[in-house]
Chain A
Amino acid sequence: MRYAAVRRWLLPLLGAVVILAVWSSLAHHIESFPSPYDTYIQAFGGVNSNAEEITGVFSDPFYVANEDDKGIFWQILSSLERVFGGFALAILVGVPLGLMIGMSEVMFELFNPYIQIFKPVSPLAWLPLLLFVFQDINMTAIATIFITSIWPIIINTALGVRSVSQDYLNVARVLRFSPLEKVRKIILPVAVPFIFTGMRLSLGIAWLVIVAAEMLTGGIGIGFWIWNEYNSLNYHNIIIGIMIVGLIGFGLDIIIGRIADYFDYTKKGKR
């Protein structure tokens, strides 16, 4: 018990020490690479190592100076909106498509080659085409997320459908379930854990894509903010941005993992 607690808290702490040591040494050897201390001050405010009074990034996250200069909260919010927009679309289209591909050999053969071809295409390759089509930053970001994050949802949903055991389908046949009842009462319960696995991968991709997309489209958003800080030579803020992206990505993964567990019948009765 005590050993477990030590492992749980002390080891990650040890990891943090290693990271800070490497970081400090980088800051020491590379000119104007921000030190951990200055980065901390830059994030939360205070007096930095040059004895400058700093207003931290998180001191006033809600400020709105003008359309192009808003607090970090608004940057994150705008990124999250786009991610969830594209992600929701990907679910809306991907789940039914995956169900069809999983249930029908014809649909599988019709779509599978193109899924395999488009799946590995980088979001950055889609972006110019979509920007040209939509001529709008928001729509382009959402569409890019949609088109790069839909594949794991389709693939995992289809996989879920295919993993429905013939025994369960025989039960449905004996009871003379209609096709709709078969999907609702037999196929979906089996496929849901798979669908959530797909959604989890998909959300991870979406969060990766948004940073790159916003760097190119500009305007507002955490990706744009990081790029903008680079252009303004605020290297502290790039590091802060990386941490924000990492923490939010981690948080999103935990949340969707919890939701997935809730709907996973294999975890029922063990809760």
Chain B
Amino acid sequence: MNKFLSLEGVAKVFALGGGKEYVAVQNIDLQIRENEIVSIIGHSGCGKSTLLNMIAGLDAHTSGGIYLTNKEIDGPGPERAVVFQNHSLLPWLTVYQNIEIAVKKVMGELSKEELKERVMKFVQMVNLDHAKDKYPGEISGGMKQRVGIARALSIKPKVLLMDEPFGALDSLTRANLQEHLMRIQQNVKNTVIIITHDIDEAVLLSDRVVMMTNGPAATIGEILEVKLERPRDRVALQSDPEYIRCREAILDFLYKKFAKEDE
């Protein structure tokens, strides 16, 4: 198996006062192939965001190792771009400038023309030419998240990490963005990890779905292969036996095997 991104025995333990500790996640073993899209799904509090932050390097893991192309991850870096749940655009910069600030920093060797060309390429990739000079406060939530995706992809990351990227959006906008993401992926292959709590989103977008048990001391419960051809059509999928099988497998995991009472 091609070990592109590899998590080996990863755990996150928080020290509480008085010698006590809280185990958020433990025993995480996961191999992710290049250009694979993997969803991580689980109830809230299962440590899935913690897991993503550890891969991003924003949170340090307390044991085990995370390796990207055989190099151990130690702190954040642009080869692991993050699309944050709340988009995290800088409100004092325009759409164009929000992407430019990333490209400029990561690809400092570009000439002025090349820089502009690259920024515009990613502005166009998410169909935001018309809004490139607008400030984040002037555009819709879906558009902001598109800028977030463009900013993340513009720095040519090895892995794209998405932390509930569409969680804050209404369902129509969410579907629209999922289509966007699939189209982009169709043109340029990326390795993507998506944190989600939406079963349909997980099946629609992923090659594999990683299901997490409940916290504390959460870990990987099952991994599901989604054997659906691409491009995928969300309407046609509704009656596809493989789609239905995958959905049921996740439903079964989340609501039978690891149901959460207090939700």
Q: A: which residues have CB within 8 A of B?
A: 167-168, 170-171, 173-177, 181, 185-186, 189-190, 265-266, 268-270
Counting CB contacts under 8 A, is B20 at the interface? no
Q: By the criterion CB–CB under 8 Å, are B88 and A269 in contact?
A: no
Q: Report the minimal beta-carbon distance from A239 to chain B, rounded to whole angstroms.
A: 46
Q: By the criterion CB–CB under 8 Å, are A266 and B82 in contact?
A: no
Counting CB contacts under 8 A, is B80 at the interface? yes
Most buried by B among A170, A186, A266: A170
Counting CB contacts under 8 A, is B150 at the interface? no
Q: By the criterion CB–CB under 8 Å, are A174 and B91 in contact?
A: no
Q: Report the minimal beta-carbon distance from A268 to chain B, rounded to whole angstroms.
A: 5
The 8 Å CB contact of A189, one of B92, B137, B155, is B92
The 8 Å CB contact of A170, one of B78, B84, B106, is B84
Q: By the criterion CB–CB under 8 Å, are B78 and A167 in contact?
A: no
Q: By the criterion CB–CB under 8 Å, are A186 and B105 in contact?
A: no
Closest chain B residue, CB of each to CB of A270: B137
Chain B hits for A265, CB < 8 A: 91-92, 135
Q: By the criterion CB–CB under 8 Å, are B77 and A174 in contact?
A: yes
Closest chain A residue, CB of each to CB of B82: A174
Q: By the criterion CB–CB under 8 Å, are A173 and B78 in contact?
A: no
Q: By the criterion CB–CB under 8 Å, are B137 and A167 in contact?
A: no
Chain B hits for A168, CB < 8 A: 88, 90
Complex alpha-carbon distance, A190 and B93, angstroms: 11
Q: By the criterion CB–CB under 8 Å, are B91 and A175 in contact?
A: no
User: Knowing A181-B105, A269-B135 touch, does A176 contact B76 (C-beta < 8 A)?
Assistant: yes
Q: By the criterion CB–CB under 8 Å, are A177 and B91 in contact?
A: no
Q: By the criterion CB–CB under 8 Å, are B92 and A170 in contact?
A: no
Complex alpha-carbon distance, A168 and B90, angstroms: 7
Closest chain B residue, CB of each to CB of A177: B105
User: Knowing A176-B77, A177-B105 touch, does A171 contact B58 (C-beta < 8 A)?
Assistant: no
The 8 Å CB contact of A175, one of B57, B84, B92, B102, is B102
Q: By the criterion CB–CB under 8 Å, are B88 and A175 in contact?
A: no
Complex alpha-carbon distance, A189 and B94, angstroms: 13
- Residue interface mask B175-197, A partner, CB < 8 A = 1: 00000000000000000000000
Q: Would you list which residues of chain B between 94 and 138 have a CB under 8 Å from chain A?
A: 101-102, 105-106, 134-135, 137-138
Closest 4 CB pairs of A and B: A265-B92, A269-B135, A167-B88, A173-B76
Counting CB contacts under 8 A, is B246 at the interface? no
Q: Report the minimal beta-carbon distance from A171 to chain B, rounded to whole angstroms.
A: 5
Q: Report the minimal beta-carbon distance from A169 to chain B, rounded to whole angstroms.
A: 10
Chain B hits for A177, CB < 8 A: 105
Q: By the criterion CB–CB under 8 Å, are B84 and A167 in contact?
A: yes
Count how many pairs of residues, one from A and one from B, have CB atoms less than 8 Å apart in the complex: 56
Chain B hits for A174, CB < 8 A: 56, 58, 76-78, 80-82
Closest chain A residue, CB of each to CB of B89: A171
The 8 Å CB contact of B138, one of A176, A266, A269, is A269
- Residue interface mask B55-95, A partner, CB < 8 A = 1: 01110000000000000000111101110101010111000
Complex alpha-carbon distance, A186 and B102, angstroms: 12
Complex alpha-carbon distance, A44 and B224, angstroms: 89
Closest chain A residue, CB of each to CB of B138: A269
Chain A hits for B88, CB < 8 A: 167-168, 170-171
Q: Report the minimal beta-carbon distance from B166 to chain A, rounded to whole angstroms.
A: 17
Most buried by A among B56, B78, B91, B155: B91
Q: By the criterion CB–CB under 8 Å, are A173 and B58 in contact?
A: yes
Chain A hits for B101, CB < 8 A: 175, 185
Chain B hits for A176, CB < 8 A: 76-78, 105
Complex alpha-carbon distance, A175 and B24, angstroms: 27
Q: By the criterion CB–CB under 8 Å, are B135 and A268 in contact?
A: yes
Complex alpha-carbon distance, A175 and B90, angstroms: 13
Q: By the criterion CB–CB under 8 Å, are B137 and A269 in contact?
A: yes
- A sample of 21 inter-chain contacts (CB < 8 A) reads A167-B84, A168-B88, A170-B58, A170-B76, A170-B82, A170-B84, A170-B88, A171-B90, A173-B57, A174-B78, A174-B80, A174-B81, A175-B102, A175-B105, A185-B101, A265-B135, A268-B92, A268-B137, A269-B134, A269-B137, A270-B137
Taking A171-B90, A176-B77, A176-B78 as known contacts, 12 extra A-B pairs with beta carbons closer than 8 A to each other, sorted by chain A number, are A167-B84, A170-B76, A173-B75, A174-B56, A174-B58, A175-B102, A181-B105, A186-B90, A190-B92, A265-B92, A268-B92, A269-B138
Q: Report the minimal beta-carbon distance from B214 to chain A, rounded to whole angstroms.
A: 26
Chain A hits for B90, CB < 8 A: 168, 171, 185-186, 189
Complex alpha-carbon distance, A190 and B90, angstroms: 9
Closest chain A residue, CB of each to CB of B53: A170
